[in-house]
């Protein structure tokens, strides 16, 4: 269960800033460039999201949460009903609420791995992509980009990225993993350059009385 929760959080964080595109569909490249420019203009981001999981066996699961990202200082805080993930850029706290356990590890600030500090521009490196037909959702016109990982060893085969044509913001991201499961993250609201309290990016043990703290450093 812990691994599943971590996978879910990592895949959400799969949606922000590496540079350099592979040779791909020129229209898709131009659109993704506009999206990157939009998000790179934000020093902080607060985004509410929903997660819809459809498993290969037909079962489904939904969840919701909030992401707080301080890009300029490599700090983040992700909160869902069952889990929290906090980093002050040096240390990361993985809070598993049902298990009443907190795992402490060193923060990963490299751009080689997907993490909360680069989640809004993951698509800029390591993917081939093409622009497909637009779709209508709730009165919005969405541009659709299909991405496939260049590394065949990735545990997902395809990613569908839908972008609001009106503002060049990501509407949702669907990850198709190789076991047949689908993970769809919908950004229900997002606000850039919002002042965020430093307390969001620090772990206060008094907020988690009775939790076991496991230091993995």
- Helix then strand count (H, E) for the chain reads 2, 12
Contact 148, 170 (CB under 8 A): no
Please determine, for residue 12, whether its predicted confidence score (pLDDT) is greater than 70: no
More confident call, 11 vs 61: 61
The DSSP result for 36-47, as a single string, is HHHHHT-SEEEE
pLDDT for the residue numbered 59? 94
Residue-averaged pLDDT of the chain: 83
Rounded distance between C-alpha atoms, residue 53 and residue 96, angstroms: 19
Please determine, for residue 130, whether its predicted confidence score (pLDDT) is greater than 70: yes
What residue ranges do the domains of the chain occupy? Answer: 2-215
Rounded distance between C-alpha atoms, residue 60 and residue 77, angstroms: 26
Q: Which is it for the CA torsion 142, 125, 14, 7, positive or negative? A: positive
Sorted by sequence, the CB contacts under 8 Å of residue 204 that are 6+ apart come out as none
Q: Which residues on neighbouring strands pair with residue 46, listed in sequence order?
A: 68, 191
Contact 75, 160 (CB under 8 A): no
Sorted by sequence, the CB contacts under 8 Å of residue 56 that are 6+ apart come out as 179, 180, 181
Q: Could you read off the pLDDT of 70-95 as tens digits, one per residue?
A: 988 889 999 988 889 999 999 999 99
What is the value of pTM for the model shown?
A: 0.81
Domain 2-215 CATH assignment equals 2.50.20.10: yes
């Amino acid at each position: 269960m812990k691994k599943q929760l971590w996978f879910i959080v990592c895949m959400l964080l799969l949606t922000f800033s590496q540079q350099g595109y592979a040779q791909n569909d020129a229209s898709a490249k131009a659109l993704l460039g506009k999206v990157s420019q939009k998000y790179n203009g934000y020093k902080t981001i607060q985004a509410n999201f929903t997660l819809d999981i459809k498993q290969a066996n037909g079962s489904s699961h939904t969840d919701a949460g909030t992401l707080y990202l301080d890009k300029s200082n490599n700090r983040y805080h992700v909160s869902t009903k069952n889990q929290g993930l906090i980093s002050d850029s040096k240390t990361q706290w993985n809070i598993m609420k049902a298990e009443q356990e907190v795992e402490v590890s060193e923060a990963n600030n490299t751009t080689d791995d997907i993490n909360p500090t680069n989640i809004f521009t993951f698509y800029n490196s390591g993917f081939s992509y093409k622009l497909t037909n637009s779709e209508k959702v709730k009165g919005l016109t969405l541009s659709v980009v299909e991405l496939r990982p260049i590394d065949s060893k990735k545990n997902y085969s395809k990613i569908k990225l839908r972008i609001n044509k009106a503002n060049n913001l990501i509407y949702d991201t669907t990850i198709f993993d190789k076991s047949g499961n689908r993970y769809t993250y919908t950004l229900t609201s997002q606000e850039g350059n919002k002042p965020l309290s430093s307390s969001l990016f620090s772990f206060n043990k008094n907020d988690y009385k009775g939790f076991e703290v496991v230091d993995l450093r």
